[in-house]
Chains A and B, each alone.
Chain A
Amino acid sequence: MATFRFREPSIIPGFRLTFGFTIFYLMVIVIIPIAGLFLKTFELDWQAFYPIISGPRFLAALKLSFGASLLAAMFNAVIGVLVAWVLVRYEFPGRRALDAMVDLPFALPTAVAGISLASIYSPNGWIGSLFAPFGIKIAYTPLGIWIALVFIGLPFVVRSVQPVLQDFSKEIEEASATLGASRPQTISRVMLPALLPAILTGFSLAFARAVGEYGSVIFIAGNLPRQTEILPLLIVFRLEEFNYAAAAAIAAVMLVASFIILLAINLIQVWSQRRFGNG
């Protein structure tokens, strides 16, 4: 273990300046707003706080928000790797255009995304009308929420996996094959362990974004209490009642829950790095 030295001699100096800026920036942008959120929450005593976070409506929304976000992030983890694989490994006409298109969900205003998705997946929309004859409703159901979350989360996985895949040399696959591994073995024992940290990073980013997503979901969700009502909407209700403390309380619970899940993902990441070596 090297002892920590405050000013490491470096080719590019400026630790103090950059560190100071980093701390200042994080204070202003992240720490102060979040501290404010928790301070607002502490305006409530337990008697006021507990009913807010224990009602059946809150619990249903909590389950829906986190459940749909996890499922969407998992789906994106699989499809995102596939997309990244295709973009990295194959040459085909229009590859660059396709590559650029992956970022569109980042660029599109979320309300626009939500309204478009709702029109496409509603019973008389392009895709919704294909499913309507079988009695499958997509828009205004939890399924619709999941689709919106998949839409906004996809770029995170693709963009985290892509560079790792690019650096992953084909020779390793060939070596694995010459040493007698079957194709599934090469994928599961050689490629996936190397990609896992990147996949997990993409997964957590997609998940975190999905939990807080409001704009795109609200138009396709249906917003029925205990059925298709997401947690951020409950926060908006409290704001409409000018009950800022209750809104902050819900947000704080979301934040803590997200933090626990992201921490768990981080631990898996550390574990996998130890187990399989650096990805």
Chain B
Amino acid sequence: MTLKRSSLVVAAAIAATVQFGGLGLAFAQDALTNVSYDPTRELYRKYNDAFTKHWKETTGRDVTVTATHGGSGSQVRTVIDGLPADVVTLALASDILAAEEAGLIEPGWQSEFPKNSSPYYSTIVFLVRSSNPKNIKDWDDLIRDDVEVITPNPKTSGGARWNYLAAWAYELDRSGGDENAAKDFVAKLYANVPVLDSGARGSTNTFVKNGTGDVLLAWENEAFLALEELEPGSVEIVVPKFSILAEPPVAIVDKNVDEKGTRELAKAYLDYLYSPEGQKIIASSYYRPQHPEHADPEDVARFPDLKLITIDEFGGWKEAQSKHFGDGGIFDQIYSSN
């Protein structure tokens, strides 16, 4: 008797699940998940609205785009661990390489879209206190004894790896290719760092809101955001003469889109980033567009020219990652030697 009753309950529960499952399917519309990193929050909020409209106009279908943000490294781990992302738009190629090694993304993704699959780029600049009281002009000034530098930990933050590599490249260039000099330089620089936050947003907060440090190494887009949206008038941007070309790449997560049948949508989503509308939104979100001719001239005027070194000079991300940021790499060495 009891057995019958309980099996009835189970049957009802199964029936209900099936019912609601079916209901969910009936209402299904196009949906896309974009796993991105921290400072792209504002960019993709604007872009997703534009793309939703564009998709409706071209295909007549509704699409819901969900974007998740966080530290680039932990974001890619959520994808590797099973988050069904359709596209990843991360801070650096090495994080996408990790997804490639996990078998989620097919090799060759970096030539799937134009410009190394980077629809926008940025660089590393300095954010200093208003009217630059410590007179910080270039990378040299960061190793002065009286300067406190705020940068996140390159072990946990994609942005911070660009910061580190820009400093390394500066000294390597200045010393004519002397790696020991470059190592000393970054060691001195990190000796001036009083707080190593785990992510770029944390560092911005430490510098802008908590008033710690004299200079923040930041993505250019993050620096503009801090300048114009967080605390107007209290900080200003200093652009060094030399910096690194930071290309945050995008990729389709092949395994997931093939399972879900969303490849076409995912491709359209990333393609649209290169369109005139996409480039315009990119420039207005403080990222440097690959096609400045499509952007508002006043947005483009914000970006000064400077000498930009590329990651290829480090032998690509795979090599840079293990040499500098791997376990026992140069970053670990500078902290165990001083």
Q: Are A219 and B327 in contact (CB under 8 A)?
A: no
- Judge if B33 is at the interface, Cβ distance under 8 Å: no
Contact, CB under 8 Å: B327 / A218: no
B197 at the interface (CB under 8 A from A): yes
Nearest chain B residue, comparing its CB with the CB of A56: B336
Instruction: Please tell me if the beta carbons of B336 and A57 are within 8 angstroms of each other in the complex.
Output: yes
Residue of B153, B206, B326 near A241 (CB, 8 A) is B326
A240 touches B211 (CB 8 A): no
Judging by beta carbons under 8 Å apart, are A236 and B206 in contact?
no
Contact partner, B210, options A125, A223, A226, A236, Cβ 8 Å: A125
- B155 / chain A contacts, CB cutoff of 8 Å: 237, 240-241
Known contacts: A122-B212, A124-B211, A224-B196. The answer to whether A239 contacts B77 by CB under 8 A is yes
Q: Kindly identify, within residues 159 to 177 of chain B, every residue whose CB is under 8 Å from any CB belonging to chain A.
A: none
Interface pair B210/A122, CB less than 8 Å apart: yes
The yes or no answer to A119 lying at the interface (CB within 8 A) is yes
What 1/0 mask marks residues of chain A from 227 to 254 whose CB sits below 8 Å from any chain B CB? 0000001001111111100100000000
Q: A140-B194, A241-B327 are in contact. Are A219 and B209 (CB under 8 A)?
A: no
Residue numbers in A under 8 Å from B206 (CB-CB): 118, 122, 140
Instruction: Please tell me if B335 contacts chain A, counting CB pairs below 8 Å.
Output: yes
What mask results when residues 96 to 123 of chain A are scored 1 for a CB within 8 Å of chain B, else 0? Answer: 0000000000000000000100110011
Closest A residue to B209 by CB, please name it.
A119
Nearest residue (CB) in B for A223 is B196
CB of B198 within 8 A of CB of A119, answer: no
A residues near B205, Cβ cutoff 8 Å: 115, 118-119, 219
Residues from 106 to 143 in B contacting A, C-beta threshold 8 Å: none
Give the bracket for the number of chain A residues in contact with chain B: 20 to 34
Q: How far is the CA of A239 from the CA of B75 in the complex (A)?
A: 12
Shortest Cβ distance from B95 into A: residue: A240
Contact B202 A219 (CB under 8 A): yes
Q: A241-B326, A241-B327 are in contact. Are A219 and B211 (CB under 8 A)?
A: no
Q: Report how far A12 CA is from B198 CA in the complex, Å.
A: 52
Cα(A225)–Cα(B153), bound, Å: 10
Across the two chains, which residue of chain A brings its CB closest to B71? A240
B265 at the interface (CB under 8 A from A): no
**Interface set, chain B 199-250, CB cutoff 8 A to A:** 202, 205-206, 209-212
Chief secondary structure at chain B's binding surface: loop
Q: Which residues of B contact A56 (CB under 8 A)?
A: 336
Q: How large is the interface on B (under 10, 10 to 19, 20 to 34, 35 or more residues)?
A: 20 to 34
Type the 1/0 row for B64-84, where 1 means its CB is closer than 8 Å to any CB of A.
000000000110010000000
Q: Which residues of B contact A124 (CB under 8 A)?
A: 210-211
Task: State which of B73, B77, B326, B335 has its C-beta within 8 Å of the C-beta of A57.
Answer: B335
Nearest CB of chain B from residue A263's CB, rounded to whole Å: 32
Q: Please, how many angstroms separate the alpha-carbon atoms of A139 and B98 in the complex?
A: 35
In contact, B335 and A236 (Cβ under 8 angstroms)? no
User: Is B156 located at the chain interface by the 8 A CB criterion?
Assistant: yes
Chain B residues within 8 Å of A243, by CB: 327
- In the assembled complex, A222 has its CB within 8 A of some CB on chain B: yes
* B196 CB → nearest A CB, Å: 4
Q: Tell me the complex Cα distance, A232–B208, Å.
A: 26
Q: Answer whether A223 and B335 are a contact pair too, CB < 8 Å, given A122-B212, A240-B73.
A: no
Mark each residue of chain B from 304 to 338: 1 if its CB lies under 8 Å from any CB of chain A, else 0.
Answer: 00000000000000000000011100000001100
Chain A neighbourhood of B197, CB < 8 A: 218-219, 223
Chain A residue nearest to B154 in the complex (CB) = A240
Contacts of A223 in B (CB 8 A): 153, 195-198
8 Å CB interface, B282-323 against A? none
Among residues of B, the one whose C-beta sits closest to the C-beta of A115 is: B205
6 tightest CB-CB pairs across the interface, nearest first? A122-B210, A124-B211, A223-B196, A225-B335, A240-B73, A222-B195
Interface, chain B (partner A; CB < 8 A): 73-74, 77, 98, 153, 155-156, 193-198, 202, 205-206, 209-212, 325-327, 335-336
Q: Can you give 15 A-B contacts (C-beta < 8 A)? A: A122-B210, A139-B212, A140-B194, A218-B198, A219-B202, A223-B197, A224-B196, A225-B196, A237-B155, A239-B74, A240-B74, A240-B156, A241-B325, A242-B98, A243-B327
Chain A residues within 8 Å of B, Cβ to Cβ: 55-57, 115, 118-119, 122-125, 139-140, 218-219, 222-226, 233, 236-243, 246
